[in-house]
Amino acid sequence: MLIQAILAQRFTLAVASLGVENAPIPLSKSTRPEFGEYQFNGAMALAKQLKKKPRDIAEDILQAVELSDIADKCEIAGPGFINIHLSKKWVSQQVQSASADERLNIKLAPARRVVVDYSSPNLAKEMHVGHLRSTIIGDAVVKVLEFLGHTVIRQNHMGDWGTQFGMLLAHLSDQLDQTQASAALSDLEDFYRAAKVRFDNEEGFADRAREYVVRLQSSDPDCLRLWEQFIDISITHSEEVYKQLQVSLSRNDVMGESAYNPDLPVLVEDLMTRGIAVVDQGATVVFLPEMADKEGNPAVYIIQKSGGGFLYATTDLAAVRYRCEQLKADRTLIFTDARQALHFKQTELVSRKAGYMPEAHSYQHCPFGMMLGKDGKPFKTRTGGTIKLADLLAEAKERAGKLVATRNPGSPASKDPKIALTIGIGAVKYADLSKNRTTDYIFDWDTMLSFEGNTAPYLQYAFTRIRSIFRKADVDMASQQSEVNVENASEHSLAVKLLQFEDTLLAVGNEATPHLLCTYLYELASLFMKFYEASPMLKADVDEMTKQSRLTLSALTARTLKSGLEMLGIETLEHM
């Protein structure tokens, strides 16, 4: 149910009837139940435009707006706000109809082809916590977009090329005298460190590493074979992490930097002949006067170094071209840390100048902040090393296991490793997803594993609570449907929140902000807990109609929680 859209449409008509076209229609959710559920805040701006008193304008709009079917009270408040109280009858009907629909009445949006570029680790190293954010935020957005009916093309833009591979391949080649590639590369972090030590200290090794770079770039078959082995094993390591994280990326989604190699010289040539790129001090660059510094010097976007080498930027231009022309995408989302914001702004500008990206294509870099330790510094191991994802997830499982055991000693749940895993992984993912991605966030085991507050265990627990109501009532939740009669305040608040699911998903899809879904689910679960206190279902003195109506509200809540958590890549449980 798109409540915001319905209200916007009604108010647009009302405002137009005052003789104002295309006025903004600002609508927001009310902050307190006394003010109803929604508020129209447009009267103040219109008053200025029409030179009238805001309250008079609000009065005129109130006369004109047609809301009798959905609201049972609208009133003017403060300087000229219009508070809208949704009617219990309408809300009841909507909830009833949502509960009878498999998709909870959420319509399929007009489908777009969306490229989502996420995870994208650098294969020279093992994936570490820095890639956790890109992977899970990206995957949540993918799932929301797919649920809304869009065609999503996952692109794992892995860093599988570059001068670093010279050092790694030289080292690998030496190791192969004694062992197999898979054994040599069993720990990529150690492998990288060992190669780096040799590069920095061993006589002649750096020269060999450079030789390998040249051989790799000139497609020397032996060298390519070695590189392929390295990449293959690296991707396998990433796949293990995706599996543990229950992230929907597969090998088919890998479109690494190397895939664009053949296109890079062609692309530079194209930009040169069309005068978009020029040679400056030996390098090939695009000047961007649109992004000049304070002194008026244009930004310089380098696409080929003076020695002939291509860069990260060149590859990203090629990726734009591929995604627009071959994949026919009309929207791109890229999830990386915030430090790359400038790079993507410039990439977009160059792509548009070159005509690689049509006007209508929306190119959204979705930056995220850093994951910090409790001390507010970048998240590291006690000895200062980067934390491996695999170790982090093992710890999550262990901590969750202990938690369940202390809450419910001796219960079957406390001995079930699957439950510990689901809670542990859910907690780690949710802690990340629930924060506005643009800010840094503090990784703290105790808060993320708490059963109180905006956490995964709280939501998982709310779900199990509803499941246990249905077990007690001996009713099948999945097929629970009945007439819904919203009567008391706790039912009303819960029902309205249930109807806001679609608006929430739409916002998450537009802004690539899963935290909005987390906040929504947390509010929903909290309202359910209040409803559960205030609106008994299984007591003897509750009449059958009321019982059925409340069970339907509960079932819809559970289905909404489950569906929302699924999109966040978090499982629900029957018991905890």
What is d(CA 316, CA 159) in angstroms, rounded to the nearest whole number?
A: 11
Write the DSSP assignment of 146-188 as a string of letters.
Answer: HHTT-EEEEEB--B--STHHHHHHHHHHHHTTTS-HHHHTSSH
Options 114-122, 233-241, 296-304, 362-370: segment touching ligand ARG (CB under 6 A)? 114-122
Tokens of 498: 């249930």
- Applying CB under 6 A, does 314 fall inside the site for ligand ARG? no
**Number of neighbouring beta carbons within 10 Å of residue 526:** 18
Q: CA geometry: angle at 552 spanning 551 and 553, to 5°?
A: 90
In the bound state with ligand ARG, the residue whose beta carbon lies nearer, of 106 and 334, is: 334
- Please choose, out of 116-124, 231-239, 268-276, 475-483, the segment that lies near ligand ARG by the rule CB under 6 A: 116-124
Please name which of 302, 569, 348 lies closest in space to residue 459, comparing C-alpha atoms.
569
158-197: contacts with ligand ARG (CB under 6 A): 159
Q: With binding defined as CB under 6 A, does residue 332 bind ligand ARG? A: no
Residue with Cβ nearer ligand ARG (320 or 570): 320
Q: Which two tokens stand for residue 487?
A: 């009567």
On whether the CB atoms of residues 12 and 66 are closer than 8 A, the answer is: no
**Residues 165/223, Cβ–Cβ less than 8 Å:** no
What letter does residue 334 receive in the DSSP assignment? E
- Residues between 335 and 394 that touch ligand ARG (CB under 6 A): 336
CB of 319 to ligand ARG, least distance (A): 5
Among 213, 319, 333, 576, binds ligand ARG (CB under 6 A): 319
- From 18-26, 118-126, 176-184, 440-448, give the range in contact with ligand ARG by CB under 6 A: 118-126
Smallest gap from residue 165 Cβ to ligand ARG (A): 14
Q: Which of 95, 247, 318, 334 binds ligand ARG (CB under 6 A)?
A: 334
- Whether the CB-CB separation of 155 and 323 falls below 8 Å is answered with yes
**Please, which residue, 156 or 513, has the CB nearer to ligand ARG?**
156
Residues that contact ligand ARG, how many (by CB under 6 A):
10
Q: Which is closer to ligand ARG, CB of 344 or CB of 463?
A: 344
Residue 365 vs 399, nearer CB to ligand ARG: 365
For 179, 191, 244, 395, the CA distances from 186, given in Å and listed in that order, are 11, 8, 17, 21
How near is the Cβ of 211 to ligand ARG at its closest, in Å? 25
Choice from 120, 238, 304, 552 touching ligand ARG (CB under 6 A): 120
Residues 6+ apart with CB under 8 A from 228: none
Distance CA 558, CA 525 (A): 9
**Does the protein bind ligand ARG through residue 157 (CB under 6 A)?**
yes
Please, which residue, 37 or 316, has the CB nearer to ligand ARG?
316
**Measured from the CB atom, is 121 or 564 closer to ligand ARG?**
121
Q: In angstroms, what is the minimal distance from the CB of 258 to ligand ARG?
A: 12
Query: What is the dihedral sign for C-alpha 155, 160, 163, 164?
Result: positive
Which residues form the interface with ligand ARG (CB under 6 A)?
A: 117, 120-122, 157, 159, 316, 319, 334, 336
